[in-house]
Amino acid sequence: MLLDCSEGEFRERLPGRTVIEVARLGKFLLLRLDGPEDLHLTIHLGMTGQVLVSQPEVAHPHTRFTFWLNGPGDEVRRLEFRDMRKFGRVHLTSNGPPSRVRTLGPDAWAGAWDAEYLAERMRGRKAPLKAFLLDQRNLAGIGNIYADETLWWAGLAPIRVASSLSPGEIGRLTHEIRARLDEGVRRLGCTLADFVDTQGNPGGFQKVLQAYGRRGEVCARCGGTLVRVVVAGRGTTYCPGCQR
């Protein structure tokens, strides 16, 4: 289901609204609208979603939603949501963002969290470290690619039990979570197949991947061979030689 309320409700409530705030928490894009109901338009790109502006008006087969925006003058801009695989979501809610946003932990990249916070969240957790990183209730914004990359750089095995990390290891993890996301942002995203920014440009993070998608290749740190396993139901690539 693309929308969390009827199309009629969108058509009825959106026209004439002004976007008064644009924010992001984890993988969610939050647009706050004016008016008394505290309306929020919330977008999640899923796996293959794209948000594009100023595109030509030709229909694209994967366009799921089109917003028409009035600029300051007579200019009209088009905000288009495309999603090949339909895992993306568009929510329109009153009284704040949808509940799924309220359960998110602090933003992994921009949030005010530290190693102490991670240690507290890890206490007693028997889930593998990889699952801990992907759980958006702990930190919001880490997906499969950044989880594998973070663990490679931190030298930690994805199958480690979350509660087994030493303070030193948690410190390394804390640093690498921020460092990898930072590099991803600096390189404007990771384009394996679909990702583009709002102007249609691909990112460059895929050029510096050390672990993700490199099964069978040589580990740049220890010369071992990267292996693929399934952890928490997700394909996971790591180096058994130097990720402990």
Contact positions vs DNA (CB under 7 A): 26-27, 44, 46-48, 61, 84-87, 100, 103, 124-128, 131, 134, 136, 143-145, 162, 190-195, 228, 230, 232-235
**Helix residue ranges per DSSP H, the chain:** 7-13, 99-102, 115-122, 129-134, 144-154, 167-186
Q: What minimum distance in Å lies between the beta carbon of 230 and DNA?
A: 7
Q: What minimum distance in Å lies between the beta carbon of 229 and DNA?
A: 10
DSSP string, 11-41: HHHSTT--EEEEEEETTEEEEEE-STT--EE
Nearer to DNA, 134 or 157 (CB): 134
SS3 of residue 164 by DSSP: helix
CA 34 to mean position of chain CA atoms: 26
Q: What minimum distance in Å lies between the beta carbon of 14 and DNA?
A: 22
In angstroms, the Cα distances linking 151 to 22, 97, 238 are 31, 31, 8
Nearer to DNA, 17 or 106 (CB): 106
Q: What minimum distance in Å lies between the beta carbon of 77 and DNA?
A: 25
Nearer to DNA, 48 or 93 (CB): 48
Nearer to DNA, 17 or 24 (CB): 24
Tokens matching residue 79: 């905000």
